[in-house]
Amino acid sequence: NISSLFHSGSRSSKTFKPKKNIPEGSHQYELLKHAEATLGSGNLRMAVMLPEGEDLNEWVAVNTVDFFNQINMLYGTITDFCTEESCPVMSAGPKYEYHWADGTNIKKPIKCSAPKYIDYLMTWVQDQLDDETLFPSKIGVPFPKNFMSVAKTILKRLFRVYAHIYHQHFDPVIQLQEEAHLNTSFKHFIFFVQEFNLIDRRELAPLQELIEKLTSKDR
């Protein structure tokens, strides 16, 4: 029985990345609280908008950390179903396959299993989030000039984890009764990247129909 396994706590050890915490009392923490409060209102289009007088880089940074944590948690619930055997390649349906390269350690894209790819991807994202020169947590430390392009790459890659979960692991998501949680998280993500034009339309193709379905009701 999946749900008893899920609640027995044997699962929690499987989530492979620690949650990235935004320091309490910091301005970014206030922004995160603001984001959570507006999300609670249920209007996602409003919730993703840049709050008045705030810095766009900082808003994108806070939300990127939040999406990393959400996706980390969602993927953590289905890792038992995403194995070398079940997912020998990192795919999002039959038409889309991803090969891993980070441009530094692995320059030439390599074909690898989905769990391996996602481990590479989440480790890479976490390294970016932990880099104080890219994601400064201290007040008054400026964001680097290339911040937006780094954030776009992070979000583009995080999207692939959603795409893989939706295409290859939707059954366990339903069994675990995580469907509403996944949809809400993904919808928030999509509204956010649409609001600030952060992911190229072509990259979103594997989930285009779903995106249209989730966003059409809120125009």
Residues of the chain with pLDDT under 50: 1-15, 219
Q: Which DSSP letter does residue 108 get?
A: S
Position 2 scores a pLDDT of 40
Residues forming the annotated binding site for Zn(2+)? 82, 87, 164, 169
Residue closest to 63 by CA, chosen among 13, 90, 28: 28
Q: How far apart are CA 65 and CA 57, in angstroms?
A: 12
Q: Which DSSP letter does residue 95 get?
A: T
Q: How far apart are CA 29 and CA 27, in angstroms?
A: 5
Does residue 19 fall inside a structural domain?
no
Q: How far apart are CA 90 and CA 213, in angstroms?
A: 25
Q: Which residues contact 164 (CB under 8 A, 6 or more apart)?
A: 82, 87, 90, 91, 92, 114, 118
Helix axes 147-168, 56-78, angle to 10 degrees: 30
- Number of domains composing the chain: 1
Does residue 10 fall inside a structural domain?
no
Position 93 scores a pLDDT of 93
Element (H, E) at 161: helix 147-168
Residues forming the annotated binding site? 82, 87, 164, 169
Does residue 43 fall inside a structural domain?
yes
Question: For the whole prediction, is pTM greater than 0.85?
Answer: yes
Phi and psi (nearest 5°) for 194?
-70, -40
Position 7 scores a pLDDT of 37
Domain that holds residue 121: 27-216
What CATH number has the domain bearing residue 102? Answer: 1.20.140.30
Position 199 scores a pLDDT of 97
Does residue 84 fall inside a structural domain?
yes
Position 11 scores a pLDDT of 36
Position 30 scores a pLDDT of 86
Does residue 59 fall inside a structural domain?
yes
Does residue 83 fall inside a structural domain?
yes
Position 195 scores a pLDDT of 96
Position 218 scores a pLDDT of 54
On the 0-12 / 13-18 / 19+ scale of CB atoms within 10 A, 215 is middle
Does residue 15 fall inside a structural domain?
no
Position 14 scores a pLDDT of 45
Position 212 scores a pLDDT of 94
Does residue 9 fall inside a structural domain?
no
Position 16 scores a pLDDT of 56
